[in-house]
Structure formats: structure tokens, C-alpha cells
Amino acid sequence: MAWWFVPLTVALGLGCEEAPPKEESQLFVVPPASALASAAPPRLLYLPDGGDQAPPAAPPNAPSLPAPPQPTRSSRCPAEMVDVAGRYCIDRYEARLVDTAQGRPLSPYYSPTGRKAAREQGFWRKEALVVGSPSAQAKPLPLLPGWQVSETYEPKAESAPGVIPNGYVTGHEAALACANAGKRLCTEQEWVTACQGEAQQQFPYGNKYEWGTCNVFREAHPAAVLHDDASRGHLDPRLNQVSSSKGPLLRPTGGTPACRSVWGDDAIYDMVGNLDEWIEDERGVFLGGFFSRSTKNGCLSRVGAHPREYYDYSLGVRCCRSP
């Protein structure tokens, strides 16, 4: 695990303690600080996964590749998927997970495996009371449905707007969730092609990095907020409930509308940022970057430092399907 420095902006935010929230449902918010209000992004944020591995960034004015003929929505793809030039289908949004038998949503803040979810809940019930500031310690754990611990089930991926996508997903669980939806993990080529859109640009919106257009390289790191240490506690169920002075770090699916990869009259959302996304690779690879990753590589953001058994708050999934 590589060590990077937490930006001064986060350290300043952590220096001011707040009173505990009045309601348990209220998100924990980084105390306002003038440094956080700056329009400039932080220089460095901690990378929990060994860092990005990507080809050199494309020149800012690199010409776009010729776009393929514009596809239209067709019967080749299910309604929740986008047709990528008639070659394959990809989920429009990052996946939320439900149980295959009854369609009940799994908590997005815990592992989709009941045994691991119960273990994490039990550990953090105690640990959360002794780490971080008093206001962080007062932040309650998110609800874990009892059936998710007591019943036997398998996860299934669903693509829908306006929902919290599931983090804490291993590569094996991601593959199973896609298979249970009648889909599969995307290959790396499929994922990158879809992310770059018809114009095949380095970012969903163009060839030049724009801070804030996608939900990546955010001004705070949730582990630094809750634990005063960005290197600790990456299975804490509260991490994806943390907000900064600019709002929730993890956003609902489609919650960053400018971050759209255009294909014909359709678009794919949040392929850069929000959550990292597993792809089909036996060595373990995820792409795109999550909300606090300090990457400017866009669709070329790639991490291959962990096996498929690895999971933490920043890891989700999006599925593909052959037409």
C-alpha cells in the first residue's frame, strides 16, 4: 500500500470539531474552512490502493479519433444499458446490488456477503467509538438489514438513476452480481472505449482535464475525516456517508450530470469518479477512479495493485453484455 500525503486543506478541516449531529440520519460534514472553499483542487490525496497505473496523459489539444456512426437506442440492449456502436451494451449507471431471489436492496455501505457484513458491523460498533474526533465518534453506523446477515442470498447488479451505488465489492462478487443479472464484467478495452465516448477522448467530456466535471480528486478524504488518518479504516461502513463543505463525497448514480460519455442520443454516467469499477481481469484491475483519488488520467485511470479478493469502500461495479 503506497503512502501519499493528505492535503493541507483536509488537515485544516480536521482541526475544527463540531458538536455531534442532532439526527442520526444526518451526514457527517467536514467543518467549513476557507481553504476548502478554494476553487483550486488539492495537489495530492492519499491513494489507498497502490496508485494509478496509466499511459501518459493525452496532449491537451490532441485530435479526436473519427467517431463511429451514431447509434440509437435499439432492442439490442436492455433499457438500462447503452448501445456502444452496436458492438456491446454497458450499464448506464454504476450498479446497486439487490438479492437475486426477491430484489431487496443490499446496504451499499457494507460488503454484499452477509458474513463479512456482520463482521464489519460488529467491529465498527466498537472501533468507531474510539477513533477520530468526538464529532466523528458520534456518527452512527448505517443500518444493516437483519436479513442481509441471517439469510442466504446472492447479489444481483441493477443499473438505475438516483441511487447510492454499492461499494465494498470484491472482483469475484462483482462478476457474480453481473452474471446474476444476465450480464458480465466488461473487458478493459470495452470499458475504456465506452468511457471515451464516440469521440474517443481521454475524458468523457473532452481531452483536457476539468476539475469538478467528474466526481474525482475531491477536496477531502473520508478516512482522514473520520479517523484523522487517510490510511486507516477502509472498511468503516460510514466512509461513503461522509460529506465535505461541497456536499457528499459519494454521489447518487447520475448525480454528476456533466460527467457523461456520449453514444448517439444516449450517455453513460460517472465512468470517471464516484466509485472505481472492477473489470474482467484475473489479476485484479479496476478503472476510472473514485471520488477522492488524486488522478487526472480520466478514462485511462487504472489500478492493478490488488487481487480480485480485495475490497474497500471505494470499489463498485458496472456490467457489460453482448448484444
Q: Please choose, from the candidates 104, 271, 128, the residue with its C-alpha nearest in 3D space to the C-alpha of residue 188.
A: 271
Q: What does the mean pLDDT of the chain come to?
A: 84
- Report in angstroms the alpha-carbon separations of 306 from 14, 70, 249, 291, 295: 30, 37, 23, 19, 18
CA torsion sign for 192, 194, 198, 203 is negative
Taking a C-beta distance cutoff of 8 angstroms, is the pair 268, 274 a contact?
no
pLDDT digits (tens, 9 = 90+) for 37-89: 344 444 433 344 444 444 333 334 434 444 444 445 557 999 999 999 999 99
Question: Quick check: 24 pLDDT over 80?
Answer: no
Q: Cell 484491475, residue?
A: 285
Instruction: Name the pLDDT band for 307 (thresholds 50, 70, 90).
Output: very high
Question: Quick check: 31 pLDDT over 70?
Answer: no
Given its phi and psi angles, is residue 25 left (phi above 0), alpha (psi -120 to 50 degrees) or beta? alpha
The pTM assigned to this predicted structure is 0.80
Give the Cα-Cα-Cα angle 291, 292, 296 (nearest 5 degrees): 85
Other C-beta atoms lying within 10 Å of the C-beta of residue 119: 15
Task: Check residue 75 and give its pLDDT.
Answer: 72
C-alpha 74/C-alpha 308 separation (Å) is 34
Question: Quick check: 323 pLDDT over 60?
Answer: yes
Q: What is the distance in angstroms between the CA of the first residue and the CA of the last residue of the chain?
A: 39
**Cα-to-chain-centroid distance, residue 319:** 14
Taking a C-beta distance cutoff of 8 angstroms, is the pair 107, 101 a contact?
no
Question: Quick check: 319 pLDDT over 60?
Answer: yes
Instruction: Name the pLDDT band for 173 (thresholds 50, 70, 90).
Output: very high
Q: What value does the mean pLDDT take over residues 110-124?
A: 98
